[in-house]
Structure 1
Amino acid sequence: MKQVMEGSHAVSEAVRLARVQVISAYPITPQTHIVESLSEFYAEGSMDARFLCVESEHSALAALIGASSCGVRTFTATSSHGLALMHELLHWTAAARLPIVMAEVNRALGPGWNIWTDQTDSLSQRDTGWIQLYCEDGQEVLDTIFQAFRLAEMVNLPAMVVMDAFYLSHTYEPVDVPDQKRVDRFLPPIEPRIELDVENPCALSQLSPPTMFMELRHNIQIAMEHVPRCFKLVEDEFAALFNRRYGQMEPVHCDDAEIIMVVTGTAASTCREVISDLRSGGEKVGLLKIKMFRPFPKELIRKFLAPAQKVAVVDRNFSFGTSGIFAQEIKASLCNLDAHPFVFSYIAGLGG
């Protein structure tokens, strides 16, 4: 059923339909509307879950580590400094192989104090072992929450669903909200790999000697390498039920493009119009919208970008001392090819 809702409410509606069992969160602008809506669902009894009010984002993720270790489906949301405060436990969650799903609303890190869009908060956590999926609009946000739970529970890694502050989190638009029966067909109850049980005691995340530690980290990498294949399986099943598909990335007019713009998030909507105008004037320009950042889909990057002459990467983030983070990843993906396009890094929209 079509409903007009803001991006934050698309997240909370998806979490309710996903039958999440434990939610732990601490409010921070601009993600507050997500957990505010979920707390209302809990209070009115329309969601069968535990809702934990905690004193910080660090505690929010710590609580979910405990809950997820007991084998239940879990969710949290945060933004900016809240995500930074979680940093220690982001590593722990991935290393413990817990399929927690988080909505992360991109917001600048201060000072200067800023509550608007900047992807540096999520991208600075790129090495923690979380799957990262970036969304363009409210429909994609709702659908990606469902897909993130399926994907995380298949590979036993946490997943971050990322969306732009205000441009997406607070913008109202029509969203097709599916009924509970169809969601249940796509997203069955969790079958946990890890489940603490007082009747069958065991130890988790204990001291790991050097001979074991490297193997544990290697196993995370193996799981990450399985993500693209598993994501395709998830998307195929999702498309069969809901007739929507996003892919790890979306090429637009890339087949004959001499110049390709690379963007992510809500900027893709603007770039679609730009590309259309330029092509109507005879310019061979294409667009590549990246959805999956971790793991980074190198093979698809090479497939779509290598034939072009020039690539313009528009980053809403910056890594001091280098360049935009998406540009870095794209250059690394193309560098060993016999021939590759010139890659230009453009920074646009930091903190708004």
Structure 2
Amino acid sequence: MSQAVIEQRVRKGVVRDRVAVTSNHAAAYAARDSEVDVVAAYPITPQTPAVEKIAEFIANGEMSAEYIPVESEHSALSALIGASAAGARTFTATSSQGLFYMYELLYIASGLRLPIVMALATRAASAPICIHGDYQDLASVRDAGWVVMIASSAQEVYDSIIMAYRIAEDNRVLLPVMVSYDGFLMSHTTEPVELYDLELIRRFAPKRIDRPILDSKRPITMGVMAIPDWYYEIKYQLIDAMHNSMSVIKEVHDEFNKTFGRNYRLIEEYRLEDADYVVLAYGGIWGNVKKAVDAARRIGIGAGALRLRLFRPFPTEELVKAVEGVKAVAVVDRAVSPGAPIEGPVAIEVATALKSRGLNTPVISVVHGLGQRTVFSRDIAELIRMLSTSEPMEMARSTIYMGVREYGG
């Protein structure tokens, strides 16, 4: 964005400041600017600077919120479940083993239909112990009933958390929302972020408590024991809410774009207009993927790219429309589902989505970047070359593991 455009946005009152921050700090700024009431968190690499920054905001009087320094991630989400049930706007952040320690509470939060927002600085799963970034933690909780967004820049982290409150608190949804971003690659990398006018943010995402809450004046019961006669129906209400959330998410994106001058969609397309071969990716490697597509175009290969921004609910219709007519789609996963027919978690979703809509487009599962092994643009360029010179249907029969050294096991 040019300096002239930035200055124009400032003059129009959309932007109040432009700061250089990491994605962790962008998450903290978003929580502050969204007027969060209660924060509960436990430190874990690489998420820790996010909640440290929030603690600093509160200590300095920049943020009027209750900060609960708990003894574990399990307790952090437990505290927010109670606070959200009482009507508070809540926030937390975590990574990897911390997310796993929250696991039973993830289902409780969604089952109780609580609009909690959480930032996830994605990180590899132990063992062996690895503090570096991949998406195994996020992949492991895709069935927990949370709306899940994946950002590719610090600006998008900030924007997505603001949107998350609007989505989560909508009475057609009432589900928790997770905003994820690459551990280290994004969590600790400084980028320019525009902070919006507070009045605009609060008009866009006003606090809503017109939902069932714990109130002694109007007593209700939450989290009752459900026998077989009723559990299925109660669970289906969550499923129905997830279905309903798709239209709400689109509405929120459209209004956010109009209010703040952005262009967010459920998926982002790059040079797809005449593409034969498409690489689908997510998170912080998006820039390298686009660079590889440009390199392929220069040597006459009809390459294009897609970025998955929304993971739950899965944007099936948008994806099908984007890839209809292409020769092959390669999905680059930075997580793995060992023993699955194809072992990339997002590749499984993409293959299912296309097949469910009658498309026989080959979907090639590619795993790379585990434990933050660097995904170079040259790796993606090589993948595009393979797509253009091999038989895609044959490639789709098994998962390709790029960037892994050979071993004798």
Would the aligned equivalents of 2:331 and 2:365 in 1 still touch at CA under 8 Å? yes
Structure 1 residue 338, shift from structure 2 partner:
4.1
Q: Secondary structure at the match of 1:145?
A: helix
Q: Structure 1 residues 123, 192: closer, same or farther in 2, change over 3 A?
A: farther
Q: Structure 1 residues 121, 49: closer, same or farther in 2, change over 3 A?
A: same
Would the aligned equivalents of 1:25 and 1:78 in 2 still touch at CA under 8 Å? yes
Structure 1 residue 130, shift from structure 2 partner:
0.5
Which residue does the alignment assign to 1:299?
Answer: 317
Residues of 2 paired with 1:193 and 1:337: CA distance? 36
1:265 and 2:283 are equivalent in the alignment:
yes
1:308 and 2:347 are equivalent in the alignment:
no
1:25 and 2:41 are equivalent in the alignment:
yes
1:126 and 2:134 are equivalent in the alignment:
no
The one-letter amino acid paired with 1:335 is: K
Match of 1:79 among 74, 95, 103: 95
Q: Secondary structure at the match of 2:255?
A: helix
Residues of 2 paired with 1:337 and 1:34: CA distance? 40
1:249 and 2:267 are equivalent in the alignment:
yes
Structure 1 residue 28, shift from structure 2 partner:
0.2
1:256-312, Cα deviation, whole Å (9 max, x unpaired): 111000000011111111112211322111101001111111111211123210111
- Structure 1: which 5+ residue stretches go unaligned? none
Q: Secondary structure at the match of 1:177?
A: strand
Q: Secondary structure at the match of 2:370?
A: coil
1:285 and 2:303 are equivalent in the alignment:
yes
Q: Structure 1 residues 15, 339: closer, same or farther in 2, change over 3 A?
A: closer
The one-letter amino acid paired with 2:137 is: D
Which residue does the alignment assign to 1:157?
Answer: 175
Most deviating of 18-27 and 171-180: 171-180
Residues of 2 paired with 1:112 and 1:184: CA distance? 44
Would the aligned equivalents of 1:61 and 1:76 in 2 still touch at CA under 8 Å? yes
Would the aligned equivalents of 2:280 and 2:305 in 1 still touch at CA under 8 Å? yes
Structure 1 residue 339, shift from structure 2 partner:
4.0
Structure 1 residue 342, shift from structure 2 partner:
1.1
Would the aligned equivalents of 2:22 and 2:154 in 1 still touch at CA under 8 Å? yes
Residues of 2 paired with 1:81 and 1:192: CA distance? 34
Q: Structure 1 residues 28, 241: closer, same or farther in 2, change over 3 A?
A: same
Structure 1 residue 340, shift from structure 2 partner:
2.1
Residues of 1 paired with 2:210 and 2:26: CA distance? 26
Which residue does the alignment assign to 1:208?
Answer: 226
Which residue does the alignment assign to 1:223?
Answer: 241
Would the aligned equivalents of 1:257 and 1:308 in 2 still touch at CA under 8 Å? yes
Residues of 2 paired with 1:210 and 1:111: CA distance? 37
Equivalences for 1:1-352 in 2 at 5 Å?
A: 1-154=17-170, 155-322=173-340, 323-352=343-372
> Identity over aligned residues, as a percent?
40
Residues of 1 paired with 2:318 and 2:369: CA distance? 26
Q: Structure 1 residues 232, 110: closer, same or farther in 2, change over 3 A?
A: same
Which residue does the alignment assign to 2:386?
Answer: none
Q: Structure 1 residues 192, 74: closer, same or farther in 2, change over 3 A?
A: farther
Residues of 2 paired with 1:64 and 1:251: CA distance? 36
Would the aligned equivalents of 1:21 and 1:73 in 2 still touch at CA under 8 Å? yes
Structure 1 residue 255, shift from structure 2 partner:
2.4
Structure 1 residue 180, shift from structure 2 partner:
1.0
Q: Structure 1 residues 339, 133: closer, same or farther in 2, change over 3 A?
A: closer
Would the aligned equivalents of 2:257 and 2:264 in 1 still touch at CA under 8 Å? no
Residues of 1 paired with 2:290 and 2:229: CA distance? 50
The one-letter amino acid paired with 1:16 is: R
Q: Secondary structure at the match of 2:169?
A: helix
1:184-222, Cα deviation, whole Å (9 max, x unpaired): 111112224121112222211111222221111111111
Would the aligned equivalents of 1:307 and 1:340 in 2 still touch at CA under 8 Å? no
Most deviating of 15-24 and 277-286: 277-286
Would the aligned equivalents of 1:306 and 1:340 in 2 still touch at CA under 8 Å? no
Structure 1 residue runs of 4 or more that deviate by more than 4 Å after TM superposition: none
The one-letter amino acid paired with 1:177 is: L
RCO greater where, 1 or 2, for CA within 8 Å and sep 6 or more?
1
The one-letter amino acid paired with 2:121 is: V
TM-score normalised by structure 2 residue count: 0.84
Q: Secondary structure at the match of 2:283?
A: coil
Structure 1 residue 69, shift from structure 2 partner:
0.3
Structure 1 residue 245, shift from structure 2 partner:
2.3
- Structure 2: which 5+ residue stretches go unaligned? 1-16, 373-409
Would the aligned equivalents of 1:260 and 1:287 in 2 still touch at CA under 8 Å? yes
